[in-house]
Amino acid sequence: MCVLSVIGILSVYVVIVTAKHSLNVETLDVVGYFDLKMAPLLTMRKIVNTRITSNAFLVNDVHIPYYENRYYIISHIILAFLLLLSGDHS
């Protein structure tokens, strides 16, 4: 029984020492460990960039022209109203 526990402890020690020397940054990179850790971050970055692009498109191509057009119409209505009030009908 004592011999089996010594063999078990020695095998655990050999596994730990082997893992310590074989698992370094290069080995983990070859296995793809860092790719798995970076995948969620890269996905979130793509999602954020897509949302920024779509919101910029919405602001530039929809909101700004709408408010520019609205401002243009309102300013002309006010100008016509002021001309009407001033009595200058020329």
Q: Are 34 and 28 in contact (CB under 8 A)?
A: yes
What confidence tens digit (pLDDT) does each residue in 35-75 have? 888 999 999 999 999 999 999 999 999 999 888 888 888 88
Does the pLDDT at position 90 exceed 60?
Answer: no
Q: In this structure, what token pair is assigned to residue 62?
A: 């929809």
Q: In this structure, what token pair is assigned to residue 87?
A: 């009595």
Residue 28 is predicted with a pLDDT of 80
Residue 88 is predicted with a pLDDT of 60
| Distance, CA of 87 to CA of 47 (rounded, Å) | 58
Residue 87 is predicted with a pLDDT of 75
Determine if the pTM surpasses 0.75. no
Does the pLDDT at position 15 exceed 70?
Answer: yes
| pLDDT band at residue 5 using 50, 70 and 90 as cut-offs | confident
